[in-house]
Structure 1
Amino acid sequence: MISRDLTFIVGGARSGKSAYAERLAAGSGLPVTYIATAAVPAGAHADAEFATRIGHHRARRPGHWGLVEAPLDLAEALDAAAQPDHCVLIDCLTLWLANLLCPPDSESPRPDWRARLDAFAAACERARGIVLVVSNEIGMGVVPMGAATRLYVDELGRLNQRIAALADRATLVAAGLPLVLKAPHQASRS
């Protein structure tokens, strides 16, 4: 029986972080549940390029993996999927936070966004089995000029730090190459 084994995987856009996480999930030898956080716009708001990106992820995933779409209720999805002798791959926190802070039907963040972040961190702490969490590192550039963009960049940075601190392992992926930031023996030093 596996107690919680949380790995945080971070990198830039098209860095190879999702493919790396998928290799870890496949290599676990356990049943896998993939939790997708993207909210696919429909109708007039449809984005063909974004739909193509999602299609690329779908095509790369093995057909026998379970799939849960959780654009908002990530804590609940993790609670339901995380169990001993199981692997959960969450891809990704970046899109999930965008769904909370930039809902398509509002100019303002969802009023419960902070509570949802807290609920997700708590779900990560109580999760059992292997949990792989993917996110983007977007804070390595200049400070954004717009208030909404600054809020998003700041909150993603805080969320990434929070989940990395909870994680047993953290890996930065750049140019398809994983760089270990935190290993199990380092976990207690965080």
Structure 2
Amino acid sequence: MVALITGGNDNGKSEYAEDLVLKLSPFGESGGYTRLYLATMSARDDESLKRIEKHILRRKDMEYITIEKSCDVGTIDIESYKESDNKAVLLVEDIPNLLAGEMFQGTDFIPDVSDKIIDDIKKLVSVCEHTVIVTNEVFSDGITYDEYTTTYLREFGRINQAIAGMADKVVELVCGIPLIVKGTE
């Protein structure tokens, strides 16, 4: 199963996604599942460090193997993280940071990365029993942005649409309440 979890900032997306992974991989390692957490955020300031620490603390007893990679996620060898014949259950946290990692590498700006990211996600999905992907809702403010931000939002929209298209389940969290957009509970 592929699930896409979306919503505004601090709306409970990560918690919902983590709970879904636990449901999809009962008993963790002893149940034949390897839980993988793909962390795509690069810590650039105190705020991002605090956010990362919050996520680490929340996951500490959930048997996750954390993979930190902010770009080129299609090169991850999922098999190398799994225990023998276990089934991989992957949580990707999150698409906005992955997009930023691909678009803004050092001083370079790489504007057309949506196809690459979509292909990378498809590679990961193809080798996992279940994949839960966290994204964000940033399209409803109606503000006119500069060229870089407009390009980022365009690519972000393409990625979200493609992942939603391949997903079995899409959930939007609104005020912490999950609304099923596609699939069933």
Return the TM-score normalized by structure 1.
Answer: 0.81
Question: Which residue of structure 2 aligns with residue 98 of structure 1?
Answer: 100
Q: Which residue of 1 aligns with 2:22?
A: 26
Give the TM-score, by structure 2 length. Answer: 0.83
The one-letter code matched in structure 2 to 1:161 is Q
Cα deviation 1:30-71 (Å, max 9, x = unaligned): 431111001123xxxxx1111001100111003421111111
One-letter amino acid of the counterpart of residue 41, structure 2: A
Instruction: Output the CA distance in 2 between the equivalents of 1:7 and 1:78.
Output: 21
Q: Which residue of 2 aligns with 1:9?
A: 5
- Inter-partner Cα distance in structure 1 for 2:77 and 2:174: 27
* Contact 2:4/2:167, CA 8 A, preserved across alignment: yes
Judging changes above 3 Å, is the alpha-carbon distance between structure 1 residues 77 and 98 closer, same or farther for their aligned structure 2 residues?
same
Q: Which runs of 5+ in 2 are unaligned?
A: 27-32
1:59 is matched with 57
Equivalent in the alignment of 1:138: 138
The Cα of 1:137 is off from its aligned counterpart by 1.2
Amino acid paired to 1:54: I
Unaligned runs of 5+ in 1: 42-46, 185-190
Displacement of 1:128 in angstroms is 3.1
Moved more, 142-151 or 91-100: 142-151
Structure 1 residues 23 and 125, CA gap change in structure 2 (3 angstroms):
closer
**RMSD between aligned alpha carbons?**
2.3
Q: Percent identity between the aligned chains?
A: 25
